[in-house]
Chain A
Amino acid sequence: MTTEARQKGRKPAQIVDMSWDPITRIIGNLGIYTKIDFANKEVVECHSTSSLFRGYSVFMKGKDPRDAGFITSRICGICGDNHTTCSDYAQQMAYGVKPPPLAEHIVNLGEAAEYMFDHTIFQDNLVFVDFCEQMVKATNPTVLARAQKTNAPRGDIHGYRTIADIMKAFNPFEGEVYKEALKVSRTTREMFCLMEGRHVHPSTLYPGGVGTMPSPTAFTDYLSRLMHVIDFVKKAVAMNDDVFDFFYEALPGYEEVGKRRIMLGCWGAWQDPKVVDYKYENMNRWGKAMYVTPGIVVDGELVTNNLVDINLGLRIMLGSSFYEDWVNEDPFVTHDPLGNPVDMRHPWNQTTLPVPQKRDFEGNYSWVMSPRWYDQRTGDHLALDTGGGPLARLWSTALNGIVDTPYIKATGHSVRISLPKGASLPETTLEWKIPKWSNTLERDRARPYFVAYAAAMALQFLDEAMGLVRSGDTKVFEDFEVPDEAIGCGFHEAVRGVLSHHLVIKDKKIANYHPYPPTPWNASPRDKFGTPGPYEDAVMGQPIFEENGPDDFKGVDIMRTVRSFDPCLPCGVHMYTGKGKTLSVTHSPVYGASHG
Chain B
Amino acid sequence: MGSIRVGRAQARPDTPSHVPGIHQGNEGPYTTQRGHHRDGTADARRSTGIDWKQHDVLLDVMPNIPPA
Main secondary structure of the interface of B (DSSP, over half): loop
Number of residues from A at the complex interface, CB < 8 A? 42
B63 interfacial by beta-carbon distance below 8 Å: yes
A508–B4 CB distance below 8 A? no
Contact in complex: B13, A64 (CB < 8 Å): yes
Interface residues of B in 3-28 (CB under 8 A from A): 3-4, 6-7, 9-19, 22, 26
| Tally of B interface residues using CB under 8 Å | 30
- Given known contacts A63-B11, A479-B26, A509-B11, is B17 in contact with A324 (CB within 8 Å)? no
B11→A592 contact, CB < 8 A: no
Interface hit among A3-11, A292-300, A439-447, A470-478: A470-478
B59 vs chain A, min Cβ distance (A) = 15
* CB-based contact A592/B19 at 8 Å: yes
**Contact, CB under 8 Å: B9 / A62:** yes
Residue of B whose beta carbon sits closest to that of A482: B13
Q: Is B61 an interface residue (CB 8 A)?
A: no
Interface centre among B11, B22, B66 (most CB of A within 10 A): B11
**Interface with B: A85-93, A246-254, A549-557, A583-591, which one?**
A583-591
Q: Is the CB of B1 within 8 A of A351?
A: yes
Q: Is A216 an interface residue (CB 8 A)?
A: yes
Q: Is the CB of B4 within 8 A of A470?
A: no
| B4: contacting residue among A215, A354, A469, A482, CB under 8 A | A354
- The reply to whether the CB of B2 lies closer than 8 angstroms to some CB of chain A is yes
CB of B40 within 8 A of CB of A474, answer yes
* B41, A473: Cβ atoms closer than 8 Å: yes
A592 touches B66 (CB 8 A): no
Instruction: Report whether A592 and B2 are in contact in the complex, using a CB–CB cutoff of 8 Å.
Output: no
Is A572 on the interface with B (CB-CB < 8 A)?
no
Residues of A within 8 A of B (CB): 58-59, 61-67, 100, 213, 215-217, 324, 326, 329, 351-354, 469-475, 477, 479, 482, 507-509, 580, 585, 587, 589, 591-592, 595-596
Q: Lowest 6 A-B CB distances belong to which pairs? A: A475-B40, A62-B9, A64-B13, A353-B2, A591-B19, A215-B68
Q: A353-B4, A473-B41, A589-B19 are in contact. List 15 more A-B contacts (CB 8 A).
A: A58-B1, A58-B6, A63-B11, A66-B13, A213-B68, A215-B68, A216-B68, A329-B2, A352-B4, A354-B4, A472-B42, A472-B66, A474-B40, A591-B19, A592-B19
